[in-house]
Amino acid sequence: MSGRKLEIILEELEKKENPNLILEQYPTPPRIASEMLMLAFNRGDIEGKIVHDLGCG
């Protein structure tokens, strides 16, 4: 999958309504998230592994 296709998929995800900024409840922009994921994938840091996003700052 290309980084751009991943970015498009991430753009379509539902966003949290009324996020609490004090609790850091804001989304990472799709472009940045896709770049981070593609970098990790290309370095071999994802394939064959379980990836867990704890959702914390």
In a domain, 49, yes or no: no
Q: Is residue 27 part of a domain?
A: yes
Domain count, the chain: 1
Residue-wise pLDDT for 7-56, tens only, equals 999 999 998 889 888 888 888 899 999 999 999 999 999 999 988 877 76
pLDDT at 56: 64
Six token digits for residue 10 = 């991430």
Domain that holds residue 32: 3-42
Q: Model-level pTM?
A: 0.75
